[in-house]
Homo-oligomer: A and B are copies of this chain.
Amino acid sequence: MATRATVGLRLKDHDHHHCISDAIARAEMLCQRNGARLTENRRRVLELVWQSHAPVGAYEVLEMLRKDGIRAAPPTVYRALEFLLEHGLVHRIETRNAFVGCPQPGQAHAAQYLLCDGCGDAVEIEIGGLARRIETRAAELGFAVATQTIEARGLCSRCQQSAPAGA
């Protein structure tokens, strides 16, 4: 499959409950396959991260947990996020100090993101050969790449229309 992402994923535009339940289903399969334990806490945090397609901060997750009546402290959330990161179930968006669900966990991939400064949505893309290109150039300089962070900020098509000129 090529990049299956669409841009400007407003929650109203699609059955987002599917996004969430699919994500949980994928996570359960993947954890079972890898012998990892998707505990209650971890599952809940993953669900909360998937509440939207915009990256969500750790403390926002914490707020949501508390609103659900769960007594939680920062480490609760960070530990769950750490687990989810390790298993590729979420990615960290460095330019926002926030986290977003990965739509294709399990397949190794360098996460590449388009981040809309208007609506906040993050769209994970994969530009063919891009990661390879960086590794190759780094190797020429004797540098061994372990992880890549590629984030492009700007405006999605919808947000370009809403805020066209120097409004």
Contacts known (A134-B127, A142-B156); A149 close to B149, Cβ less than 8 A: yes
Q: How far is the CB of A36 from chain B (nearest CB, A)?
A: 21
**Pairwise interchain contact A154-B138, C-beta atoms closer than 8 A:** yes
Contacts known (A127-B134, A130-B134, A133-B130); A152 close to B157, Cβ less than 8 A: no
- How many of these chains are in the complex? 2
Would you give 18 A-B contacts (Cβ < 8 Å), ordered by A? A112-B134, A114-B143, A123-B143, A125-B137, A127-B134, A134-B152, A138-B152, A142-B156, A143-B156, A143-B157, A144-B154, A145-B153, A145-B154, A146-B154, A147-B152, A147-B153, A149-B149, A149-B153
Q: Closest 4 CB pairs between A and B?
A: A142-B157, A94-B94, A146-B154, A145-B154
